[in-house]
Amino acid sequence: MKLAVMPTSLTSRSQRFMLAEWWRSIDQLTLMLLLCLLCAGLVLSMAASPAASHRLGILSPFHFLLRHGVFALAGFSGAVFVSLFEPRGARRIGVLALIGAMVVMAALPSIGYEVKGAVRWVKIGPFSLQPSEFAKPAFIIFAAWMFSAAKRDPNVPAVLIVLAVYAALILLLITQPDFGQSFLLTLCFAAVFFFAGMSLGWLIVMLAVTSLGAFGAYLALPHVRSRVAAFLSPDRSDSYQTDKALEAIAGGGFFGRGPGEGAVKYALPDGHTDFIFAVSVEEFGFLISALLIVLIAAFVVRAFSNALRLNDQFCQLATAGLATLIGMQAIINLFVNLNMAPSKGMTLPFISYGGSSLLSLCFTAGLILAFTRRRPGAYRMG
């Protein structure tokens, strides 16, 4: 029995149609903003990489730039791939990512390795993976799915299910420990809870429990107390990195010292990661660096604008929640750079070096692109 073989011309024509349909339906402005942010991250990685390599004794001055380039290319490709899915398929990817991330996080005490007193990473060949980075957008997808299902069927115990998963995630994060990610996850969960129109009483209870947990962490854990003390009383605590970041920002002024002319970055331990904004201001000035903030803000505002016009409640909640994640992470990072918040160990979205962070943020962007595609009946008329 002979099998029918599809002609090559028909296959290529089908692929061209699929790509053309994808390009027609994708939110091209969001895609271009993502590409601009990734390119800006590469430029700043080029500026910060020599200092980071020198400080760590790495011979190649552009070691971190090359790795950043690999992650950026993989992340953008992954975002495009995820954006090809229908909302149902993207939702399934999100739920599977949540399950996978939680399984790996639970196994970290056995398979993970310690960095600066925290066990958050697992080795995969020459690279490291931080599963909690992927748990954040995946949890938002899961929460949006549950809350939208409860709107269709009031018998679905969405609040209890989501709270149980949230509590499990927080427990896994605290055992690492990672209070910065716990704080960000809580903010995003509260936002999705609010967007879904859930009971205000539940939200107040959740925020009260979170506040008590944060206070308990402050009392019980020395490193949490030291970070808060460094923020509240910098003259009596070790605030070296924040002081250097402020020095870099002050030295750059409005117009900067010039590309490659930064000096403080050689003394800034996390200048290529959490404090990349300080390096940006030192070399390119505050006026140019402010464009980074504008680009991130434009990405977030565009996502919210699309979410408001979507018909499907799940897509609305997921898009708004994912945009909140990117926006809140950017705000926290900028506040830390400007000494307006205690150090959190959080990257500037799409800009900072960090493989897991960059890949998970591109995954987040890909999900936003998938949920906001212009499909028949997806958007309200007018």
Given this model, what pLDDT does residue 239 score? 72
Please choose, from the candidates 372, 363, 307, 359, the residue with its C-alpha nearest in 3D space to the C-alpha of residue 86. Answer: 372
Element (H, E) at 102: helix 87-111
Instruction: HSE, CB side, 13 Å, CA atoms: give it for residue 124.
Output: 9
Residue 40 has pLDDT above 70, yes or no: yes
What type of residue sits at position 32?
M
Helix (H/G/I), strand (E/B), else coil: 206: helix
Give the pLDDT confidence of 204-223 residue by residue, as tens digits: 877 787 777 777 766 766 66
pLDDT in the model for residue 75: 96
Q: Is there a contact between 158 and 142 (Cβ–Cβ < 8 Å)?
A: no
Please state whether the peptide bond connecting residue 234 to the residue before it is cis, i.e. omega within 30 degrees of 0: no
Lowest-confidence region among 52-61, 68-77, 133-142, 259-268 = 259-268
At 13, the pLDDT band (50, 70, 90 cuts) reads: low
Confidence of residue 3 (pLDDT cuts 50, 70, 90): very low
pLDDT value of position 176:
84
124 has pLDDT over 50: yes
pLDDT digits (tens, 9 = 90+) for 292-322: 999 999 999 999 999 999 999 999 999 999 9
The length of the chain is 382
* Mean pLDDT of the region 15-36: 89
Amino acid at 351: I
Task: Give yes or no for a contact between 259 and 47, defined as CB atoms under 8 angstroms apart.
Answer: yes
Distances (CA, A) of 369 to 71, 292, 315: 19, 20, 11
The answer to whether residues 350 and 41 touch, using CB atoms and an 8 Å cutoff, is yes
Spell out the residues 6+ positions from residue 179 whose beta carbon is closer than 8 angstroms to its own. Answer: 173, 214, 217, 224
Kindly state the tokens that stand for 58: 């790495």
pLDDT of residue 135: 96
At 1, the pLDDT band (50, 70, 90 cuts) reads very low
Considering the chain, what is the average pLDDT of its residues? Answer: 87
The helix (run of H) or strand (run of E) holding residue 118 is: strand 118-124
Give the model's confidence band at 42: pLDDT under 50 very low, under 70 low, under 90 confident, else very high: very high
Q: For 265-314, give the DSSP string.
A: GGG-TTTTTTTHHHHHHHHHHHHHHHHHHHHHHHHHHHHHHHHHHBS-HH
Q: In percent, how much of the chain has pLDDT > 90?
A: 49
Beta bridge partners of 129: 122
pLDDT value at residue 230: 63
Whether 33 contacts 302, CB under 8 Å: yes
Report, as an integer, the average pLDDT of 109-115: 85
Residue with tokens 């499909």: 375
What integer pLDDT is reported at residue 238 of this predicted model?
A: 62
What's the predicted TM-score (pTM) here?
0.91
pLDDT of residue 94: 96
Say how many C-beta atoms besides its own lie within 10 A of residue 122's C-beta. Answer: 19
Helices (H), the chain: 8-25, 28-55, 63-83, 87-111, 131-152, 158-174, 179-195, 200-220, 222-232, 240-252, 276-309, 313-337, 355-371
pLDDT category, 232, cuts 50, 70, 90?
low
What are 247's two structure tokens? 């020095």
Higher pLDDT, 162 or 20: 162
Pairwise CA distance, residues 163 & 169, whole Å = 10
Instruction: Give 380's pLDDT tier (boundaries 50, 70, 90).
Output: confident
CA 164 – CA 322 distance, rounded (Å): 20
Distance CA 177, CA 158 (A): 28
pLDDT in the model for residue 379? 85
Structural tokens at position 121: 């990473």
pLDDT digits (tens, 9 = 90+) for 243-286: 888 888 888 888 888 887 788 888 888 888 889 999 999 999 98
* Residue 156 pLDDT grade (very low, low, confident, very high; cuts 50, 70, 90): confident
pLDDT value at position 10?
Answer: 54
Place 15 in a pLDDT band, splitting at 50, 70 and 90: low
Q: Is 1 exposed, middle or buried (0-12, 13-18, 19+ CB in 10 A)?
A: exposed
